[in-house]
Amino acid sequence: VLADRGYDTDSIINLLIEKQANAVIPSRKHRKVQRSTDWWLFKERHLVECLFNKLKHNRRLATRFDKLTCTFVAFLKLASSMIWLA
């Protein structure tokens, strides 16, 4: 699970440990015990955020013009493939 410092709470961390998920969440500055973080893996989060930013340039996706989920997902796949090809 890749997340930013805002999700560094004990309840979220304990839930992820319970679900046997690998939490890559940097510790907040005020924590007394700082957890170790895989910074190389955390930097990969940037690629996902850039994709979401590029997808939001399509007004149809950003404002959710499509009423049906199937048409929204279809346009999402089309826009993602166009970004991938560019």
DSSP one-letter string for 13-53: HHHHHHTT---B-PPPTT-SSPPP--HHHHHTHHHHHHHHH
Residue 24 lies in a domain: yes
* Site of tokens 């893996």: 41
- Across residues 42-65, what is the average pLDDT? 88
Q: Is residue 22 part of a domain?
A: yes
User: Which residue range is the domain that position 21 belongs to?
Assistant: 1-43
Asked if the structure places residue 9 within a domain, the reply is yes
Examine residue 38 and state whether it is found in any structural domain, yes or no: yes
39 falls within a domain? yes
Tell me how far apart the alpha carbons of residues 8 and 49 are, in angstroms, rounded to a whole number. 19
Residue 7 forms part of a structural domain = yes
Number of structural domains, the chain? 1
Q: What is the pLDDT of residues 18-45, one digit of tens each?
A: 999 988 999 999 989 898 888 998 888 8
Average pLDDT over residues 46-74: 88
